[in-house]
Amino acid sequence: MIDWVPPGIVLIAGAFLIPFLKGRAKRAYLLLLPVITFIDLFFMADGTGWAVPFMGYNLVFGQVDRLSMAFGYVFVIMAFIGMLYALHVKEDGQHFAAFLYAGSALGVVFSGDFLSLFVFWEIMAFSGVFLIWYSRDKASRDAGMRYLLVHVFGGLSLLAGIVIRLVNTGSLEFGSLAHGGLDSYLILLGFMVNAAVPPLHAWLSDAYPEATITGAVFLSAFTTKTAVYVLLRAFSGFEILIWFGAAMAVFGVAYALLQNDIRRLLAYEIISQVGYMIAGIGMGTMLSLNGVTAHAFTHILYKGLLFMGAGAVIYTAGKRKFTELGGLYRTMPLTLGLYMVGALSISAVPFFSGFVSKSMIVSASAHEHLAPVWLLLTLASAGTFLLVALRLPYFTFFGKDSGIKAKEPPVNMLLAMGFAAFLNILIGVYPAILYNILPFPVDYVPYTGEHIVWTVQILLFTALGFFLMRDKLMSQPAISLDIDWIYRKGSRAFMWFVEKPLSAAAQLPVRIFLRIADYLMWLGKNPTRAVSLYASTAIFRLLGRFPGMPPHASEKLLENAWKNYPGEPVKKSPVGDSVILVLILMAVYAIYYYIVT
């Protein structure tokens, strides 16, 4: 109990010291904090630690097993890499938000109960949004607000599921939920929002490209992978996820092909890669679950690297679209080289990290004889290589020279990219280092002759297709429509509805009552004359004239009478209104008395 602290708490509590440090000490501290957290991980013992009684429930902050440790390792490594990449940023708030965000993701991973999981889940959403807002422009403010609203929706669905579960079972324990029932479907919905499973994915491709250059690196790592972790724990073997995942893998690639913004392309690629993981969770075999864990691990490292590479281009070139970039290889060769390590890793080229992890999931689909899933996942692999390793570098670093005078980014950015690139190659060359920390024992060999030959075939012939048709892959300065159309345009339709028909309808009763009040005031000026006016008008309408008067003169008389209303001020009778009221009441009482008795 005493010898280790939940790693999420270390990062979150540690973040509060940042504003008190200055200059070199602060930079050292920013790097030291993830290192301390990493050392802390080694002291964590399997089992349930840090159980805190709270209002009759047991909150568990330290649920430790092989699965949570695997995610814990890569989360802390990525927090270190991301912080190294962001070291030149002067604003404390950005570092604070980043540690809060990474720390809450770690908090989710080691949560053993739904209540603490939910709290960390929400901290993650609310700290992540600041990594977007710190871009400080209108696009990021709007996208951040949409990001927040979608996550609040997902969080509420999760909370509703947790509450129903608590009422039904009396337990808050976080475990397998693959049994069906309303509570598990609501929780699944909440998890799937964060995993960006279509059609709940649009927040990701909407918000991540608007984040700060350094913030996007953090964002690419934690939210979706935390969701993968909780889905893996709660819904492994939930069959429908296979099909969601396979469709998602192809969907992400397809949409990525349409993008002109380099980070939006990479954001859609996250959706595609998470699709492999979701499919693997649905299969629920030992091989596939190992594959999901391995792929989440490598994905964080290579996707972080890709976002760092794209960020370096945006940082020094100041442009983010294919139509504005090109020919940067002369001035940014190091960035290009490091980016390509990430690109070859995501494409699952042999001896890079993606090869040893993605192939586990694809092989698992073959073992289960799920031929359509294999075809979809392989199609997505070809598309990923086409996009990330061919199209993006071709149109950014080669292609038509844009004439931009870019240079290499600051040294801390290059070091962070270099470290991530090193880990990607290390895992690709020596996969045992990754396989040893997976949740189940691994008897999978990635480097077999047939496997390498088949992979090389897919890659080379995809490249052939690219070179034959690369003119067709030129970007247009355009944006693509996606599900977010529904709420971006829908919110406008809603506001129109509120402002026009709804507010008009709301005004209607007000207008009616105002008219009534006006009328009563008019009547009160001279009630007797008003009554006689009504009576004479009625007579005139019925007969066409007043008795003993020609029609023309009658009309004239009536018109003048209306015009002169209220006429002379009403003379108050000396008896007073109250006496008249008393008289009326007495008369009513007398009538009542005679009738009832």
Partner 1 sequence: MGSLKNRKVLKYLFYAGLVIAVLADFLMHREKIELPWDAVPGFNAMYGFFSTILLIIVLRAAGYVLLKREDYYD
> Which residues of this chain interact with partner 1, rule CB under 8 A?
253-254, 257-258, 366-367, 369, 371, 374-375, 378-379, 382-383, 386, 398, 448-450, 453-466, 468-469, 472-473, 476-482, 488-489
Residue 387 CB, nearest approach to partner 1 (Å): 9
Residue (228 or 348) nearer to partner 1, CB? 348
Residue 373 CB, nearest approach to partner 1 (Å): 10
Residue 282 CB, nearest approach to partner 1 (Å): 18
Residue (108 or 271) nearer to partner 1, CB? 271
Asked if 127 and 159 count as a contact pair (C-beta separation under 8 A), the reply is no
Determine the Cα–Cα distance for residues 546 and 395; give it in Å rounded to an integer. 95
Distances (CA, A) of 542 to 533, 547, 551: 14, 11, 12
Residue 199, preceding bond cis, omega within 30 degrees?
yes
Determine the Cα–Cα distance for residues 18 and 20; give it in Å rounded to an integer. 5
The encoded tokens of residue 208 equal 């991540």
Residue 457 CB, nearest approach to partner 1 (Å): 4
| Residue whose pair of structure tokens reads 């690709």 in the numeric block | 428
Residue 485 CB, nearest approach to partner 1 (Å): 9
Q: List Cβ neighbours of 76 (8 Å cut-off, separation of 6 or more).
A: 7, 34, 37, 38, 41, 102, 106
Residue 481 CB, nearest approach to partner 1 (Å): 5
Residue (489 or 556) nearer to partner 1, CB? 489
Nearest 5°: phi and psi at 43? -90, -5
Residue (47 or 372) nearer to partner 1, CB? 372
Instruction: Name the 3-class secondary structure at 53.
Output: strand
Residue 453 CB, nearest approach to partner 1 (Å): 5
Asked if 228 and 292 count as a contact pair (C-beta separation under 8 A), the reply is yes
Determine the Cα–Cα distance for residues 424 and 357; give it in Å rounded to an integer. 11
Determine the Cα–Cα distance for residues 468 and 306; give it in Å rounded to an integer. 26
Residue (96 or 208) nearer to partner 1, CB? 208
Residue 264 CB, nearest approach to partner 1 (Å): 12
Residue (367 or 511) nearer to partner 1, CB? 367
Q: What is the residue-wise DSSP string for 24-76?
A: HHHHHHHHHHHHHHHHHHHTPPSEEEEEEEETTEEEEEEEESHHHHHHHHHHH
Residue (65 or 324) nearer to partner 1, CB? 324
Residue 135 CB, nearest approach to partner 1 (Å): 17
Residue (236 or 462) nearer to partner 1, CB? 462
Asked if 60 and 50 count as a contact pair (C-beta separation under 8 A), the reply is yes
What's the burial of 88, exposed, middle or buried (CB within 10 Å: 0-12/13-18/19+)?
middle
Determine the Cα–Cα distance for residues 383 and 279; give it in Å rounded to an integer. 17
Determine the Cα–Cα distance for residues 272 and 497; give it in Å rounded to an integer. 37
Residue 467 CB, nearest approach to partner 1 (Å): 8
The encoded tokens of residue 119 equal 């709290």
Beta-bridge partners for 58: 53
Residue (56 or 477) nearer to partner 1, CB? 477
Residue (324 or 408) nearer to partner 1, CB? 324
Length of the chain: 597
Determine the Cα–Cα distance for residues 520 and 443; give it in Å rounded to an integer. 91
Residue 286 CB, nearest approach to partner 1 (Å): 16
Residue 496 CB, nearest approach to partner 1 (Å): 15
Residue (220 or 273) nearer to partner 1, CB? 273
Q: List Cβ neighbours of 173 (8 Å cut-off, separation of 6 or more).
A: 112, 113, 114
Residue 236 CB, nearest approach to partner 1 (Å): 22
Alpha-carbon 14 to chain mean position: 26
Q: Among positive and negative, which fits the CA dihedral 189, 195, 199, 200?
A: positive
Asked if 211 and 131 count as a contact pair (C-beta separation under 8 A), the reply is yes
Residue 409, preceding bond cis, omega within 30 degrees?
no
Q: List Cβ neighbours of 426 (8 Å cut-off, separation of 6 or more).
A: 433
The encoded tokens of residue 405 equal 């005078």
The encoded tokens of residue 575 equal 């008896």
Residue (170 or 449) nearer to partner 1, CB? 449
Residue (460 or 587) nearer to partner 1, CB? 460
